[in-house]
Copies of this chain bind each other. A is one copy, B any other.
Amino acid sequence: MTLADYSNSDLELDLRWWAAANYLTVAQIYLQDNVLLREPLTVEHIKPRLLGHWGTSPGLSMIYTLLNRHIRDTGTQWLYVTGPGHGGPALVAATYLEGTYSEVYPHISGDSAGVKALCRQFSTPGGIPSHVSVQTPGSIHEGGELGYALIHAAGAAFDNPDLVVACVVGDGEAETGPLSGSWKIPAFLNPARDGAVLPILHLNGAKIASPTVLGRTSDRDIDSYLSGQGWAPIFVEGDDPNEVFPALAAALTTAHGKIAAIQSAARAGEPVGEKWPAIVLRTPKGWTGPHEVDGKLIEGTHWSHQVPLSGVRENPEHLGLLEAWLRKYRPEDLFDDHGAFTKELAELAPDGDLRMGSTPYANGGRNLVPLKIPALESYALEIDTPGARSYETTKVLGELMRDIYKQNSDDKHGGTFRLFSPDETASNRLQAVFEVTDRCWQLPRTENDDGLSPEGRVMEVLSEHLCQGWLEGYLLTGRHGLFATYEAFAMVSVSMLVQHAKWLQHAVALPWREPVASLNVLLTSTCWRNDHNGFSHQGPGMIDAVIPLSPEVVRVWLPPDSNTLLSVADHCFRSRDHVNVLVVDKQSHPQYLTLDQANEHCAAGASIWKWAGTESPTAVGSEEEPDIVLAAAGDVPTEETLAAAQLLREWVPWLRVRVVNVVDLMGLLPQNDHPHGMPEQKFVDLFTAETDVVFAFHGYPRAVHQQLHGRTNPERFHIRGFSEQGTTTTAFDMVVLNRMSRYHLVLEALRRSRRVPEKSGDLAEFCQSQLRRHHDYVREHFEDMPEIREWKWSQG
C-alpha cells in the first residue's frame, strides 16, 4: 500500500474506530456508571479507585486499528503481542470492539449493559486485572514484567509458516537485558519454514518517571542498531493522527510486502538477500489525552503514564477536564442508542478467527495436537542388578527426543516439538537429537561446522532468557518442547518461569482457554557434578523458587536414574498446563530400576526400595518399625544413600534399615497443600510415624523441611543436602564438603537410630577414618578415592 491507497474515508473510519478504543480505555479507567456519557458526568459516575495505565494505550490502539484494516485487506493471519502489557484497557477495548470479547465473556454484551459491565469489571475486585493478562483474548503475553515481548513473538513464529506476529516493543521495555538480547531473531528464524515477526518499536519517549534511552536516540543510531542485528527499520513519526495513520498503514503494507518477498524467495529455494522489516514508531505518550493539567504538560510526557487526571473525585475542574476528554471522542457517534458499536465501524474488524482476539494462535490449546511419543521400552536400560551398571543418565532422554522429533515433524510446518538449550545439548548428553535434526542457524556457515543448518530445529543460543521465552511462546501457541539447562543457570530466567506459572494458574480458571502443553525444564549439570566448573555453576536454588508457586501448576521431579527419567519425561510431555522441573545430572551414575519398576516408582512418587534395606520381609507394613530410615531424593543423594545402606548392612547387619526413594518432590507436601501431596497414611507407611529419617536431598536441606511441616513428627527428619559449599574439585569432595557423603549419612544414621547396634562404634570409626583419609589423600593426590570411584552396589 502506498500513501495514496489509504483513502480519506479509510482514514476517517479508522480514526473513529481508534476514538472508540480510546474512549473505552478512558471509560474503563474512570467510569462505573453513565459509561456512554448519555448524561452530564458527575462524581457518582467515577470509580472509587482509579487504576490503569493510559500512557501507552492510544499507541497500542492505533496499531490494532490499522492491523485490523490490513488483515481485512489481505486475509492474512496475525498475532498481536503487546510488550507494554500495562496497556490492558486498550486491548480489552479493541477485542470488545471487534466482537471477540462478548463471545468469550457473554455477560460483557454488545450493548449499554455490556459497556457498563466492561467498565465496572476493569481493575476491580472480582473483575479483570489491569494488564494484557491471560484473561485478555488474543494475548499470549502478560507484559507486566517487561522484557519478553520479542522472545515470546519469536517462539510463536517458529514452525508457524502462515503466521505474522506483530510485536509492539515499548521503549521502556527496550532498556531491559532480555529485550535487548532478543533482537537476534534473524539469526534463528527460517523464512522458509517459520512465520514472521514484525517488531513495532513504539517510542513514546518516556517510562514511569523519565525519558527512555531509545526515545532520546537519533533515528540514525536506531537504524544502525537494528540494521546491525538483521532488521531494516521503517520509521513513522508524528503527533497528527491525520498524518500518522496513513504513514503507519503504508509502513505495515510495505513491511508485510517485504516479509512476503523474503518468505517467497526462501520457500522457492532462492537466496534471501534482504533484512527483515521492522517499524519504528514515534508518537506521543498519552496521545489524545489531557494536554496540560494544572499548568503542567501531560501529553507526550511521563506524567501521562498511569491516570493523568487523578483528582476527578475531589476537584470539579479535573472532572470537567475528564468529561471534555471523553466527549472529544464523540461517543454518541460511536455507539447507538442501545450502546451497540456503530455498524459501519464494527465492520472494520476482520471476521472470525482472523480477528486478533480470536486467533487460535493466541489460544494455543485450540491448535494443540498431542505429541506422538514412542514406547519407552526402546530406550530403557536393561537392569539386572540395581546399581551394578553406570550410565550417563540423561542420554536416554536424548534418544527419546530424537524419535519425538522424527515422529512429530513435517516438511511444510517444521513440526510440533523443539528442544531449547543454551549451547549445551551435547554437553548435557542429549546429542542423539542431532541424528535427526541440526542446531538452527540462519547465519553463514563454514566447512568445519557440524550439526548446524537453517533447517535445524534444536534451538541453541547462549541465553537462558531466549531459550525459556522462546519455549513459552512455542507452547502458548499450541506446541511442545523442553528447555534443558545447567541447573545453576536456570536461575538466570527464573523470573520468567514464575510469570509463566502465574499465567497458567489463571489460565486454568478460564473455560475458553484450551489447555496447553506443560513447560518442561530439565536442570542438568547439577550442583553435585559441576565439580569441573566450580562454585558459580553450583546452585540448586531453582527448587526453592518453584516450590512456593501455585500447587495447581508446579511439579518438581528428581529421577534417580535413566529409566525413571524416561518415565517422568513421558508423563511431563503428556501433561497440560503445568510447569515441570526435572532435576537430573548428565554424568555417569549407577542405574537402579527397570522400566517397569521405574514406572511404578514414578506413579507412586516415592517408594520403599526393599532390596536396599535390611528390614525383615514381613516387617514392612507391619507394626514393627525399622530402627532407622534412609531416604533420598535426587541421583547423587540416592547414590550416597545406597552406599550408606550397604555400609550399614556390611558392618551392622542386625540394624533394621529402611531405604526410601522420592522422585516426586511435591508428594512430601500435605495432601491439602498440593494435588500430588501424598495421603498421611501413605506418608507414615513410607517413613513410619516415629523412626528417625536421615534424608539425603539434592538441593538445600531446608527446602524439604518446609515441605514436611504438617506431617507426622517432622522433627525426626534429618536432611542433608547442598549447603552452599563448592569449588572446582572432585565429585566425591563435593559430597564431603556438603556433609552428604555416605560416611556422613552412616554417622548420622548411627546417631539417630532407635538402638545403638553392636559394632556401631567400629563402623563410626571406619567412617571417620575414611573422611580423614579423604581429607589427606585428595589434597595430596588431587583425586577421588579409588574405592569410591569404583563403588558398585552389592545386594549382599
Contacts and interface: CB of A to CB of B under 8 A. Distances in A.
A301 to B, nearest CB: 6
Interface string A266-279: 00000000000000
A176 B172 contact: no
A491 B488 contact: no
A175 B180 contact: no
Interface string A481-510: 000000011011011001100100110000
A181 B180 contact: yes
A541 B534 contact: no
A423 interface: yes
A463 B782 contact: no
A176 B175 contact: no
A212 B216 CA distance: 30
B213 A187 contact: yes
A423 B229 contact: no
A177 B175 contact: no
A297 interface: yes
A781 interface: yes
A441 B548 contact: no
Contacts of A727: 125, 129
Nearest to A549: B724
Nearest to A171: B462
B707 A502 contact: no
A520 interface: no
Contacts of A779: 125-126
B209 A460 contact: yes
Nearest to A452: B210
Contacts of A492: 145, 147, 176, 495
Contact of A177 (B51, B147, B494): B147
Contact of A226 (B123, B133, B142, B228): B228
Given A211-B449, A225-B228, A783-B48, A537 B144 contact: yes
Nearest to A424: B208
B536 A499 contact: yes
B228 A461 contact: no
Given A181-B175, A702-B709, A51 B498 contact: no
Interface string A178-202: 1111111001000000000000000
A230 B221 contact: yes
B702 A707 contact: yes
A181 B177 contact: yes
Nearest to A182: B177
Nearest to A145: B536
A242 interface: no
Contacts of A223: 228
Contacts of A460: 209-210
B226 A448 contact: no
A545 interface: yes
A222 to B, nearest CB: 6
B230 A177 contact: no
Interface centre among A439, A448, A466 (most CB of B within 10 A): A448
The 6 residue pairs across chains A and B that have the minimum distance between CB atoms:
A144-B536, A225-B228, A224-B228, A177-B181, A706-B706, A180-B181
28 contacts: A47-B782, A48-B781, A49-B782, A51-B728, A124-B728, A125-B782, A127-B782, A129-B534, A130-B534, A130-B728, A131-B728, A144-B535, A147-B492, A177-B180, A177-B181, A207-B462, A211-B441, A212-B462, A217-B443, A221-B230, A297-B448, A301-B448, A491-B494, A492-B495, A541-B545, A544-B545, A548-B724, A705-B705
Given A147-B177, A225-B228, 14 more contacts: A129-B535, A130-B533, A145-B492, A145-B537, A177-B463, A179-B181, A180-B180, A187-B213, A211-B445, A211-B446, A211-B449, A213-B461, A300-B448, A502-B535
